[in-house]
């Protein structure tokens, strides 16, 4: 309010703490999953004590929904670089496959958490709104890849965004499970699978 003003407005400070808390909570959640990650364990892996959660969040549920929302908002831009920088269809496929593998190897805990939460939402209504919203944003992300791929190939996508996402998500989930189970060549496997699948997503140009 005065000349210099606060570095950060008080409301922002509050919001920033929420982000910090959510950030360290995500580490624990990715390690233990939704059900076994207690608030005490989450707090232990942060720089705070277990009581502070209820100062910034109403519920365990509110914390967790906030966490996953936060992670996925950064996550949905993951392939945008691939889309922006590819100039030939096969180049895009390779870059996309590389990025998929990188995601599985480097962010496996986060993604198993996502699948955990999506499964939980089948039982718990309170999770559904957030899950559906995130799912949609992932579908959009995949669609940007597919439609760019079609454009570069001079063709049209042969499938709806929903189906394209469903198919690729199925493959990704399978690969993630395989990777976590220690199966070898799962990374090469997903690469081959994507190389084989992507051309099938296209149809002749109709316009």
Binding residues among 34-53 for DNA as defined by CB under 7 A = 36-41, 47-53
Return the CA Rg of the chain: 20
Token pair 């982000």 in the structure block, residue:
19
Give me the half-sphere count of Cα atoms (radius 13 Å) on the Cβ side of residue 182: 0
The interface partner of residue 5, options being its own copies, DNA, none and the CB cut-off 5 to 8 Å by kind, is: none
- Region near its own copies per CB under 8 A, out of 2-10, 11-19, 75-83, 114-122: 114-122
- DSSP letter assigned to residue 86: -
Angstrom distances, CA of residue 174 to CA of 111, 171, 180, 181: 12, 5, 10, 11
Q: Is 170 in the site for its own copies (CB under 8 A)?
A: yes
CA distance 185 to 132: 32
Residues in contact with its own copies, counted by CB under 8 A, come to a total of 41
Residues in contact with DNA, counted by CB under 7 A, come to a total of 24
The residue among 11 and 181 lying less far from its own copies, judged by its C-beta, is: 181
Interaction mask 26-45, its own copies, x per CB under 8 A: ------xxxxx---------
CA angle 21, 27, 32 (to 5 degrees): 120
- Region near its own copies per CB under 8 A, out of 17-25, 42-50, 81-89, 123-131: 123-131
């Amino acid at each position: 309010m005065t000349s210099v003003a606060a570095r950060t407005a008080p409301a922002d400070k509050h919001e920033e703490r929420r982000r910090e808390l959510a950030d360290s909570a995500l580490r624990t959640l990715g390690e233990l999953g939704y059900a076994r990650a207690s608030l005490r364990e989450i707090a232990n892996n942060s720089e705070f004590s277990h009581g502070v959660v209820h100062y910034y969040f109403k519920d365990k549920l509110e914390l967790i929904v906030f966490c996953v929302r936060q992670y996925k908002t950064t996550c949905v831009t993951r392939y945008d670089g691939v889309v922006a920088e590819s100039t030939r269809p096969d180049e895009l496929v390779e870059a996309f496959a590389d990025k998929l593998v990188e995601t599985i190897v480097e962010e496996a805990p986060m993604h198993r958490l996502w699948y955990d939460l999506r499964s939980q939402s089948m039982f718990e209504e309170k999770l559904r709104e957030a899950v559906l919203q995130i799912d949609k944003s992932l579908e959009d992300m995949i669609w940007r890849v597919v439609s760019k791929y079609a454009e570069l190939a001079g063709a049209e996508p042969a499938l709806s965004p929903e189906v394209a996402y469903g198919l690729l998500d199925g493959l990704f989930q399978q690969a993630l499970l395989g990777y976590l189970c220690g199966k070898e060549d799962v990374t090469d496997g997903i690469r081959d699978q994507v190389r084989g699948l992507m051309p099938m997503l296209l149809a002749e140009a109709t316009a």
